[in-house]
């Protein structure tokens, strides 16, 4: 059966040639179903049970859960199938054609992160005739680069269930056990416009925004005084005032003003509690200025994530790679897989420095070591492990 599944570089070539851009801008947004179908076909050929899970409310988008073996516990190797948009004119070769040059493989998604799938499949295909004591699951998600709707759909469905998960985002194969969360929020103030010569003719949204900004800065100080984490290079939670739009003319009372800001909470800080805090702090400003204040998320947010240092998977990954587990500054689907009950790390080939920019590449010399490390993880968590321990 396995000869129907192409070899590693052929698989990668086909994945790169199948565009699957996801974007919050509708004109750039595409489906990911053709990538999911390719992976499902290859994994089916190898004997995996495959389930394609459509994402509710996102036509043309789906997750894939491909399972070899059965029973509780087991290991998930996970990646996202979408890429960010690209500026094709800035690339030296087509982003949708896998191109080898200078011992590197160029193409959109080579490192972030279509390249992980052929590598994981290469490791997995060595086990197709081995009796597994716990299942091996290859998970492919939708929309990581835009809405995280794929990961959210998994949490909503309560699957897959496994004991361990490795997300192959580009970390140069350094195990990552924590990252900050990310929120993008807006505060819209609606007042009443009127002639500037008499303030009583309106309710000034900009005046009210001035107080909202002061509250946010006070709240930021409060957070940074109370939360620190030395593993991060910026060791406090951040709150960035990003943009503001309001009013139209100097001689009109400003009727409406909107602020957008971003918050990067540390592990252990809950997104919904932060939203509650902010809403409570700005609420009194409504009465003070006679305006209405609407606080809302611009997207559901990515929770922060931390897996303890002394867990089996972190220790195993440190031992296999020779690198101590670290923290990163970017968000991933890790908190979602963790919410499903899995001990989760982020570790994959390629560098985040090459992601999201022209001439994205995966260095050829990263492929073989990654296949070897994944093979050892599968051996440890799907073969050597006893069934009862894996379901703990």
DSSP string of 173-185? T--EEEE--BEEE
Q: Determine which one of 29, 82, 122, 333 is catalytic.
A: 82
C-alpha to C-alpha distance for 269 and 53, rounded to whole angstroms: 31
Cα 225 off chain centre by: 28
3-state DSSP helix/strand/coil percent for the chain, to nearest 5?
35, 25, 40
Say which residues have a Cβ less than 8 Å from residue 26's Cβ, sequence separation at least 6.
Answer: none
Per-residue x/- track, 158-197, Zn ion (CB under 5 A): -----------x----------------------------
Cβ proximity to Zn ion: between 73 and 168 the closer is 168
Q: Does 274 bind Zn ion (CB under 5 A)?
A: no
Q: How far is the CB of 152 from Zn ion (least distance, A)?
A: 16
Residue 277 is a catalytic residue = no
Q: Determine which one of 29, 112, 143, 144 is catalytic.
A: 144
Q: How far is the CB of 349 from Zn ion (least distance, A)?
A: 12
Q: How far is the CB of 169 from Zn ion (least distance, A)?
A: 5
Cβ proximity to Zn ion: between 169 and 359 the closer is 169
Distance from the first to the final alpha carbon of the chain: 34
61: which DSSP letter? Answer: -
Q: How far is the CB of 273 from Zn ion (least distance, A)?
A: 27
Residue 29 is a catalytic residue = no
Cβ proximity to Zn ion: between 113 and 137 the closer is 113
C-alpha to C-alpha distance for 333 and 339, rounded to whole angstroms: 10
Q: Which residues ranging from 113 to 132 are in contact with Zn ion (CB under 5 A)?
A: 113
Query: How many chain residues bind Zn ion (CB under 5 A)?
Result: 3
Q: Which residues ranging from 47 to 106 are in contact with Zn ion (CB under 5 A)?
A: none
From residue 327, give the alpha-carbon distance in Å to each of 154, 174, 219, 231, 304: 24, 10, 25, 6, 11
Q: How far is the CB of 334 from Zn ion (least distance, A)?
A: 11
Closest CA to 317 of 386, 385, 380: 380
Cβ proximity to Zn ion: between 74 and 150 the closer is 150
Q: Which residues ranging from 97 to 116 are in contact with Zn ion (CB under 5 A)?
A: 112-113
- Under DSSP, is residue 280 helix (H, G, I), strand (E, B) or coil? helix
Question: In the complex, which residues of this chain contact Zn ion (CB under 5 A)?
Answer: 112-113, 169
Catalytic residue annotation: 82, 144
């Amino acid at each position: 059966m396995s000869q129907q599944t192409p070899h590693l570089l052929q698989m990668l070539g086909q994945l790169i040639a199948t565009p699957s851009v996801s974007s919050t801008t509708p004109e750039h947004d595409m489906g990911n179903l053709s990538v999911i179908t390719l992976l499902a076909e290859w994994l089916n050929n190898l004997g995996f049970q495959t389930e394609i899970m459509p994402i509710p409310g996102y036509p043309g988008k789906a997750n894939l859960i491909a399972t070899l073996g059965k029973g509780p516990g087991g290991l998930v190797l996970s990646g996202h199938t979408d890429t960010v948009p690209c500026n094709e004119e800035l690339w030296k070769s087509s982003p949708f054609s896998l191109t080898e040059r200078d011992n590197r493989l160029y193409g959109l998604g080579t490192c972030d992160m279509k390249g992980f799938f052929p590598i994981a499949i290469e490791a997995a295909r060595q086990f197709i005739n081995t009796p597994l004591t716990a299942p091996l699951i290859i998970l492919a998600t939708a929309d990581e680069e835009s809405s995280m709707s794929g990961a959210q759909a998994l949490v909503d469905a309560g699957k897959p269930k496994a004991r361990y998960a490795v997300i192959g985002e580009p970390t140069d194969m350094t195990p990552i056990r924590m990252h900050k969360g990310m929120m993008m929020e807006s505060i819209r103030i609606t007042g009443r416009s009127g002639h500037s010569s008499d303030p009583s003719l309106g309710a000034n949204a900009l005046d009210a925004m001035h107080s909202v900004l002061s509250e946010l800065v006070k709240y930021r100080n409060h957070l940074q005084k109370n939360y620190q984490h030395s593993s991060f290079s910026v060791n406090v939670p951040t709150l960035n005032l990003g943009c503001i739009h309001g009013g139209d003319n100097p001689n009109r009372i400003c009727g409406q003003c909107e602020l957008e800001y971003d918050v990067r909470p540390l592990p252990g800080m809950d997104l919904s509690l932060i939203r509650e805090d902010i809403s409570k702090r700005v609420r009194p400003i409504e009465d003070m200025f006679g305006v209405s204040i609407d606080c809302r998320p611009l997207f559901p947010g990515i929770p922060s994530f931390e897996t303890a240092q002394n867990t089996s998977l972190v220790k195993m990954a440190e031992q296999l790679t020779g690198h101590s587990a670290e923290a990163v500054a970017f968000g991933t689907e890790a908190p979602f897989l963790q919410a499903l009950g899995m001990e989760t790390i982020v570790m994959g080939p390629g560098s985040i420095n090459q992601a999201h920019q022209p001439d994205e590449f995966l260095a050829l010399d990263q492929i073989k070591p990654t296949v070897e490390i994944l093979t050892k993880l599968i051996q440890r968590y799907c073969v050597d492990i006893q069934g009862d321990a894996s379901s703990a």
